[in-house]
Amino acid sequence: MKYAIVASGGKQFKAVEGDTIEVDRLEASVGDAVSLDQVLLLVEGESIHVGTPMVKTAKVSATVVDQFKGPKIDVFRYKPKKRIRSKVGHRQQYTRLKIDSIEME
């Protein structure tokens, strides 16, 4: 099995060829090709390449499948007996990527 651990948006994701991952929003349109160059770990069968901190010659190619919003999160703060209330909502923007290939140059 061939897979890689990639960093995107300050988070780490396990990328397997053919699977999809959801990363923080990237500035790309649906159908665009995206290259993830921050590869931390690459596993090809029995061989394991560990980066210090990145694997310099590794690259993950992906295609943008969808741009979507996550679930709504409501934050409600109040202080009892003081009439202080605040309600704020937030929806995070995400990009769904289909992993096309994991390459070692």
Per-residue pLDDT of the chain (105 residues; tens, 9 = 90+): 899 999 999 999 999 999 999 999 999 999 999 999 999 999 998 999 998 889 999 999 999 999 999 999 999 999 999 999 999 999 999 999 999 999 987
Cα torsion angle, 28, 32, 37, 41, sign = positive
Token pair 């690459």 in the structure block, residue: 42
| Alpha carbon distances (Å) from 52 to 40, 55, 61 | 8, 7, 21
Phi, psi of 4 (to 5 degrees): -140, 150
Cis before 80 (ω within 30): no
